[in-house]
Amino acid sequence: MSLLVVGLNHRTAPTSLLEQASVSPADTPKVLHDLTAAAHVNEAVVLSTCNRTEFYAEVETFHGGVADISDQLSRICGIDLADLAAHLYVHHDARAVGHLFSVVCGLDSMLVGESQILGQVRGAYRAAQEAGGSGAALSGLFQAALRVGKRAHSETSIDAAGASIVAVGIQLAAVSLGVLAETPVAPLTESAQPAQPPLAGARVLLIGAGAVGSLAAQTARRAGASDIVIANRTAARADRVAQLHGGRVVSLSDLPHEIMLADLVISSTGAAGLVVDQEMTAAGLAGRGGRPLVFLDLALPHDIDPGVRELAGVSLIDIETLRVALDGAQVAHDVEAVRGLVATEVAGFLDRRRADRVAPTVVALRAYADSVVGAELARLRTRLPDLDSREWEQVQGAVRRVVDKLLHAPTVRVQQLAGAPGGDSYAEALRELFDLPREVPAVVSAPDLDLVEHS
């Protein structure tokens, strides 16, 4: 059996498809039941948020598991699998573990480092437990992942990474607008605020009203923006951001007119293609009277056509620009620290998993040896009835020590070899050579990690 992840997220699918793929809490039990009833899936957990729908599964075979999960996703989306396949990703075993650990730490989020995903992963795991979808394999994986997520947020400042990225982006925009004289290398602190707020009196157009858009609205308002306009495919989300941070909502069809009026355009949608192209921007420039226009593209993939840089008076700040600006800053160190933490934890988890796979064979071998020793000692006791208790203890001790020494090298070695390619074959050889039972008591189990309710 092996671990498998099949899913789609904001990097591979447009928002409209992510909405179709969404699995509500009410539908989760049935989805898990249908999936674990499939031929190749033994356990499953479904993680469904506004930016991703992913199935984590313990499967009998790789190809069979991929087919079962993909078919389930196709039914949920109501889309033919041939059309859906281009948006799916598949991770197997080590990469599946690494993906989940990265997700729970916020490294794979649209807003890097956001902590909300930790609670969402915890909720998905508990829902699977309640529905009977999660067994020993996925329980061990998700308990380890939640522990890694808590470590990432408690041992680093990864929580602040997303806010730092947005803040630095707005400061770079202020430089392009001529408000700040120097390019910042880190978010401004309370004690280092410029005499004039970076966006004092500026008109900001937000395209996208998700988590990143909401944070951008909050940051722009704090930076002194006088007018915030929000355009989003779903009006309800735009209304919510407008109510939280002040502003008004416009239609996406109004973008050319709003671009003409804006000083700064911040885009963070989940669209699969460009939201603002060079032609739309050129149309918006016509009535600006030469005022500079800055685009801050926080989306992956890009929302803003890179070709807008060729237009006079237009500046474009994208994720790559921000990476360069943040190189060496604390946020970059925190992200790298979490990546290092994830790599270490993945290696440790895989080592434990490999050891767990051979542990039942080792236990069965030692149980078999104990039964043989016990039977032989019982026969020997009847043949040597004159031995006193002290002498009998010495005989028993000697026999058991011989057996322990004979078993020590092969049992230790099979655990060491478990991590090598084909490591399971060594345990299989022991089972064949000693005719060990295939089913043994689960005497070795992962510890029940403390999953604190609130991270």
Judge whether 407 and 365 are in contact, CB under 8 Å: yes
Angle between helices 94-105 and 136-155 (to 10 degrees): 40
Strand order in the sheet with 314-317: 248-250, 227-231, 203-207, 264-267, 293-297, 314-317
Active site residue 50: yes
3-state secondary structure of 123: helix
Beta bridge partners of 295: 265, 316
Q: Burial-class residue 368 by CB neighbours within 10 Å (0-12, 13-18, 19+).
A: middle
Residue with tokens 């880190």: 186
Q: In 3-state terms, the chain is what percent helix, strand and coil (to 5)?
A: 55, 15, 30
SS3 5: strand
DSSP string, 176-212: HHTSSSS--SSPPPGGG--SS-TTTT-EEEEE--SHH
- CA nearest to 120, candidates 45, 70, 69: 45
Q: Residue 301, preceding bond cis, omega within 30 degrees?
A: yes
- Whether the Cβ atoms of residue 311 and residue 295 lie closer than 8 Å to each other: no
Identify the CA nearest to 47 among candidates 135, 117, 94. 117
Q: How far is 214 from 228, CA to CA, in rounded Å?
A: 11
CB 69 within 8 A of CB 6: yes
Q: Which of 50, 136, 373, 380 is catalytic?
A: 50
- The sign one gets for the Cα dihedral 433, 439, 440, 443 is positive
Count the Cβ atoms, other than its own, within 10 Å of residue 72: 22
Q: Catalytic site residues?
A: 50
